[in-house]
Structure 1
């Protein structure tokens, strides 16, 4: 079991994912069960659990309607989450965007502040420090490190801008801070989120992470984690053994990136994920997967089929029943529209049939039966109220964010910062969205974007082919000239023709295993 990795999917239902993690733990005796949530919002789940005692958002979308100040940081809700953006626009709140570059949301806010990449935790800790009254706790000592001058120097803000931000937060009666992967996908992603939650706690406000795939919350809730069980932490393993009448592994498993690149397994079962495009250090990911026995289970073709030893076709959301849990932790019913096509099957049924081949009878006859078990096993689902799984905070706790500083000068060999971004008309690694001619026509395509002045200084014209070089490798790309910050290059991550993660080094937050996709040092060679 220690030599197999199981990767669940936020595209699959709660029922699918619950049966998959049972297959991993009961049949193969492995806690190496993770999901694509690891590379996006693992820092959110971890930080919320340490701050509120619950690994999920504690508010609903409409809770922000009477807010008077909304700070949007490291995200583009206009592009990435139009449902939440529509709620933001319904409010009368003053809206502030804080980001390393102007995104689509910038044209819809009242104020925009361009900050240096990788400085979120410094900015929010410094804002909190400016308002903090010493109370004899360790926070006093930690916050002393964050001064106005520190924020100005590292975040690239003027004194007037910083003071204005502090005054806006200080005078706010109901503060909302919403953030996305521009906050979490850093080497210090957990500190970024902690700094936001600390400020929200101080102001008795609301923190709302913006998340992507339809069931990216549910895949965590039902146990697709290497460091917890569907029933809770590992102290609950004996209850699970009794229910399933089997012995289960009791040691923490390996994270997604860890099991592929750091301490590689010998076999991997991947569901609706494309690590050849989505994981950092893409060339070495391919080499690692080529040395493993690979099972790819999914609804769409992708590059994983180039390295897969076995391909298992599963049916789409339109062809099965089940439930999804959204970013609000609302459990939503999924109804079958058409029967499964060709030889595809519901994912949970594939897992159960494999379990039977290994002598384990799960005995599930329907999605309803699986969901009933989920409501009996998963604590947050035992008392679903008004359609919501448990959202109640168990405590409120500040978390220390020590000041570790940043490089103040860019390496002369890599003077640009590469930031991976999502386009409004594409989604994740493109398996679904790139099948649409309409979406493809509306997309910019596999291009990177750089500032006009930077391009002129290098003699680069719109559409020129250039080489991007990092410590991880090099990649030829087409460059477009756009309205982005100086010394910042934006790169969409949807395209198999331009696998930008080829030049994303293996750097990640050690607490959560989330890679750094938002602050990569590169140089441009014409």
Structure 2
């Protein structure tokens, strides 16, 4: 997030898109409701009528995969009506002329047909955002999990810069992280192209710094993403897979494809429980849970926070850092750490954003990075004064429809997401009786008109097919989705990701298009 969670309260207008906030991030959802009660304006864009739509001044029930077109149309209106921040554009951005030229054709009328919403609602949304003193954008995986996900984020960044809503309280572009410490994992270099603190592995000076710190020779070539790795296993370019706190047999697209790769590779799984992925592993390393170890987590607002051990881990389970250290030692790298704090001290030495953060400073409260010195208070708001790169790069992006759409054999659109009463792949919540009584099984949301057309009633079992596979699942009749759009939560193993596309990826991030899948549906006897 460019801004903090608490900063939401200072916004005049909030634009939520691709985020079912009250179910996926209920604490932040409560903050949003508090802001609405204080009189703040709200725009919501989502393929489903999520709870936040009930509070919206404008709700855009867009067709899945059309966010780029919508954002371009909002910018078209802002420029047409002179709502842009001319001084900010001139002084702190580049690429404006090209952006203006591209968005000219994305009129509300043109985009209304693409998104399947009312043109006047697009205008209302653009005016609410453009006329606000401060406006914040809040998004999640409904924006990113597309083959054009990175470009969708770029268009949101365009929208913020076009109106001068970057680098100030109540503004910003704020992604909500999908799981605890996803931000921290990325900060620590759990990406194929960077070391800690997003320092590129292709930079000769950076590589030398880490070689000197660790006393080893390091590669300057980026590694593979998760989706690339599955393909590389099939092609015999990867022989071993180490899975750490992840359950790709449920969370990754095209489950049958993933299963085939896992059965071919030598697989090590490090996790709390015997997940669907761990059941296919050659070696399972039992890990300690959050309350069974010391360390730090970094939340969605970049706040580094202490975690303190409350209970002992059962059996042979160990903290992750201990497992990594012991494997590292057995592989010939004889580095010993005595505590999580000692590991953190090394992180500080090689990561500029963390240099001023210490366990002592984290004793009372967390600190938002970047925090370059021990005197620095942390940085709740990024890009104050000007964007961190010097000038904000406005990127002209054309809308491209998903290849999953328009196939007469699979004419319906499936989108996926999370629900409040299960978490991720249910490796933890699936073991909780109370939660399973509330949300015991997977289901598919079907619009009443489509259900009537197919002869489907509430609770009927249906067969859902895509190009990748099929599932048998219980029907839930609801007008939360449009007639040709269906929804399956992704938490269950025999569910959404059996159907989703694992072959086409975002060209920048290699994220697959999990949110748009062409399907058919039929009632089972």
**Which bin holds the TM-score, normalised by the shorter protein?**
0.7 to 0.9
Counterpart pick for 2:488 among 473, 483, 491 = 491
Give the 5 Å matches for 1:471-510: 471-483=467-479, 484-496=481-493, 498-506=494-502, 507-510=504-507
Using the size of structure 1 for normalisation, the TM-score is 0.85
Maintained 8 Å contact 1:298/1:314:
yes
Deviation at 1:521, TM superposition (A): 0.7
Residue correspondence of structure 1 range 211-290 to structure 2 within 5 A = 211-230=177-196, 232-234=199-201, 235=203, 236-262=206-232, 264=234, 265-290=238-263
Change (3 A) 1:332 1:407: closer
Answering whether residue 163 of structure 2 is matched by residue 203 of structure 1, we say: yes
Gaps of 5+ in 1: 1-56
1:145-224 aligned within 5 A = 145-205=105-165, 206-224=172-190
Are the equivalent residues in 1 in contact too, given 2:22–2:51 (CA < 8 A)?
yes
Match of 1:74 in 2: 18
Number of the residue aligned with 1:30: none
Per the alignment, in what secondary structure is the counterpart of residue 525 of structure 1? Answer: strand
Paired position in structure 1 for 2:76: 129
CA-to-aligned-CA distance 1:14-61 (integer Å, 9 cap, x gap): xxxxxxxxxxxxxxxxxxxxxxxxxxxxxxxxxxxxxxxxxxx22111
Q: Shift of the alpha carbon at 1:262? A: 5.0
C-alpha separation between the residues in 1 aligned to 2:294 and 2:279?
30
Which residue of structure 2 aligns with residue 100 of structure 1? 47
For residues 208 and 195 of structure 1, the distance between their equivalents in structure 2, rounded to whole angstroms, comes to 13
Equivalent in 87, 98, 103 of residue 31 of structure 2:
87
Q: Which residue of 2 aligns with 1:382?
A: 355
TM-score by length of 2: 0.86
- Partner Cα distance (1:269, 1:176) in 2: 38
Matching of residue 522 in structure 1 with residue 519 in structure 2: yes
Q: Are residues 1:451 and 2:418 paired?
A: no
Post-superposition offset of 1:444:
5.8
Query: Which whole-Å deviations, capped at 9, do the CAs of 1:165-206 have from their partners, x for residues lacking one?
Result: 222222211111111111111110011111111111122222
Deviation digits for residues 125-163 of structure 1, max 9, x if unmatched? 121122237987322332234222321121122232222
Whole-angstrom CA distance in 2 between matches of 1:218 and 1:510: 24
Residue 10 of structure 1 corresponds to none
8 Å Cα contact 1:261/1:285 also seen in 2: no
Deviation at 1:457, TM superposition (A): 0.2
| Partner of residue 397, structure 1 | 392
Quick one: distance in 1 between partners of 2:21 and 2:101? 35
Query: Which ranges in structure 2 are unaligned for 5 or more consecutive residues?
Result: 91-95, 166-171, 371-378
Name 1:371's counterpart in structure 2: 344
Higher relative contact order (CA 8 A, sep 6+): 1
Residue from 409, 417, 420 that aligns with 2:416: 420
Q: Deviations over 1:215-253 (max 9, x none)?
A: 010000011111111261122011100111110111111
Are the structure 2 counterparts of residues 259 and 276 from structure 1 closer, same or farther at C-alpha, using a change threshold of 3 Å?
same
C-alpha contact 2:463 2:471 (8 A) present in aligned 1: yes
Q: Paired residue for 2:376?
A: none
Secondary structure, aligned partner of 1:412: coil
Query: What's the offset of the Cα at 1:263?
Result: 5.8
2:401 pairs with one of 388, 402, 406? 406
Q: 2:289 aligns with which of 310, 313, 316?
A: 316
Paired positions, count: 469
Does the residue aligned with 2:196 lie in a helix, a strand or coil?
coil
Does residue 142 of the first structure (1) align with residue 102 of the second (2)? Answer: yes
CA contact (8 A) 2:303 2:368 kept: yes
Q: What's the secondary structure of 2:393's corresponding residue?
A: coil
Cα distance in 1 for partners of 2:103, 2:512 equals 27
Kindly state the Cα deviation for residue 396 of structure 1 after the two structures are TM-superposed.
Answer: 4.3
Structure 1's 516 and 343: CA in aligned 2 closer, same or farther, altered over 3 A?
A: same
**1:201–1:396 Cα contact (<8 Å) kept:** no
The 10-residue stretch of structure 1 (196-205 or 382-391) with the greater mean CA deviation from structure 2 = 382-391
Instruction: Measure the CA separation in 1 of the matches of 2:463 and 2:120.
Output: 39
Q: Which residue of 2 aligns with 1:41?
A: none
RMSD value over aligned CA atoms? 1.9
Check if 1:348 corresponds to 2:321: yes
Is this contact kept in 2: 1:100–1:117, CA < 8 A?
yes
- Out of 332, 338, 353, which is 2:311 matched to? 338
- Taking the aligned partners of 1:404 and 1:318, their CA distance within structure 2 comes to 45
Instruction: Give, in whole Å, the separation in 2 of the partners of 1:468 and 1:382.
Output: 51
